[in-house]
Amino acid sequence: MAAPRFPFDDLQGFLGALERAGELHRVKVPVDPTLEISEIVTRTVRAKGPALLFEKPTRGMMPLAINIFGSDRRMAMALGVDDFDEIGARIGELAKPELPQGFSGMMDGLGKIMQLKSLPPKRVKSAPCQEVVLKGAEVDLNMLPGLQMWPGDGGIYHNYGLTHTKHPETGKRNLGLYRLQQHSHNTIGMHWQIHKDSTAHHAVAERRGERLPVAVAFGADPVVSYSASAPLPGDIDEYLFAGFLRGERVELVDCLTVPLQVPANANIILEGWVEPGERLPEGPFGDHTGFYTPVEPFPVMHVEAITMRRDPIYHSIITSKPPQEDGPIGRATERIFLPLIKILVPDIVDYHMPEAGVFHNCLVVAINKRYPKHAQKVMSAVWGAHLLSLTKLIVVVDDDCDPRDLQEVAFRAFGNVDYAHDLVLTQGPVDHLDHASYQQFWGGKAGVDATRKLPTEGYTRGWPEEMRMAPEVVAKVDKRWKEYGFK
């Protein structure tokens, strides 16, 4: 069970590795962060192009790195592996001993992994992210090359800020990835969706009449940046998870003005507070769903200090309808978390979240069907699963179907289904950003049983045999292929 080969200490080290591998393009001319960068990045992503380093954005005082996770190769490089399944295999080996099934089993499995293979974050006294310190009147968010990505956006957004909060009563830390709208030179909106852990922290602080300390990091090392996006249960520390992925401890440093710790090797840190009861309109925002999310009131962070490296690099990401840079991030998450999903729902053999479904709208599940209505049981388990409960459409196939082969999945979903018997319709929670639900936060869900039907399910016609060529004929044609004049 190999550890990652080369965890990068910082964003600069990762960008250097990308450049040596021919995976980084430097844009040396001035480029406008309002719309122009977004159009360049979107064209680059859809052409399967490299990571980009904009050296002279016309807003801000530093270069901007983007699309650094925008291919499976770069995402794998960021995690120090050749294939995402390598990390899933490491997790699977540690989770092999018998564990309880369901959510408690998944939590036990995660806890065991962290105990065995991770070390707690290491606190250091000085850090590159505090080489430059700006406080009070020196604070100016306009020194950052924040983006307006789409014409209808409500303003400038900072899209890859690693947001740190802690529970006011338990002290439990949360590291999350949320969009941040810049309201002024020293205030930003916190888009804390209803299902997020930082929302819970803020709610407790408000109930107690307290302001909530917040720190936002930009340009951390790639493993920490990925870990902020990982769908971990609230009881699991993202920095422990990052330590497991890296194979070594993550260095943290105390903030200067708030009681939080941040990654020592990050490029930029914002420190500040969210006041109880304060909200400002946030949005519109062109999101990863491909649509603008509407204006809603969200909490506001008052930035009291900015610390940074002497020569910082700002990191961001573009959101749009797929394909976009978050595609490889989602694929990495899918493969890394498969062993834990199997603990949560043991019937699952494999699964896939199609990028076109923006990863939470559709889930394809392969099972070894053993009894009547087995597929429907799995649907119910998924809709009750902590990490998957927001899924809108579940398609269940037999385990001889690769759930990532969407052509084969479609063949079975279109042909193997009697919609009077094999379609499950229900209602439940949906993603905060879902625009199709008639009510915000909840809506309709569907499950499609595309498995072979059993007599005990009421199918009495005898399931037909699928046509397959005789193996000896396949071998004969393989052997004679060039004789037929083909290359």
Give me the active site residues, please. Answer: 287
The single residue listed with the structure tokens 């052997």 is 479
In terms of phi and psi (left: phi > 0; alpha: psi -120 to 50; beta: otherwise), the region of 402 is: beta
d(CA 223, CA 244): 10
DSSP 333: H
d(CA 198, CA 159): 16
Q: Contact at 8 Å (CB) between 178 and 216?
A: no
Of 179, 157, 171, the residue nearest 229 (C-alpha): 179
DSSP 31: B
Alpha carbon separation from 174 to 170, 202, 265 (Å, rounded): 12, 11, 18
d(CA 18, CA 390): 35
| 3-class SS of residue 157 | strand
d(CA 150, CA 320): 9
d(CA 229, CA 217): 13
132-135 and 122-124 as β-strands: parallel, antiparallel, unpaired? unpaired
d(CA 482, CA 54): 50
| Identity at 293, one-letter amino acid code | T
Count the alpha carbons within 13 Å of 15 in the hemisphere toward its beta carbon: 21
Handedness of CA 140, 141, 142, 145 (dihedral sign): positive
DSSP characters for 339-406?
HHHHHHSTTEEEEE--GGGTTTSEEEEEE---STTHHHHHHHHHHTSTTTTT-SEEEEEETTS-TT-H
Q: Contact at 8 Å (CB) between 228 and 176?
A: yes
Q: Where are the alpha helices (DSSP H) in 21-161?
A: 36-46, 72-79, 85-94, 102-117
Q: Contact at 8 Å (CB) between 88 and 337?
A: yes
Could you tell me the two tokens for 122?
């290491």
Handedness of CA 468, 469, 472, 478 (dihedral sign): negative
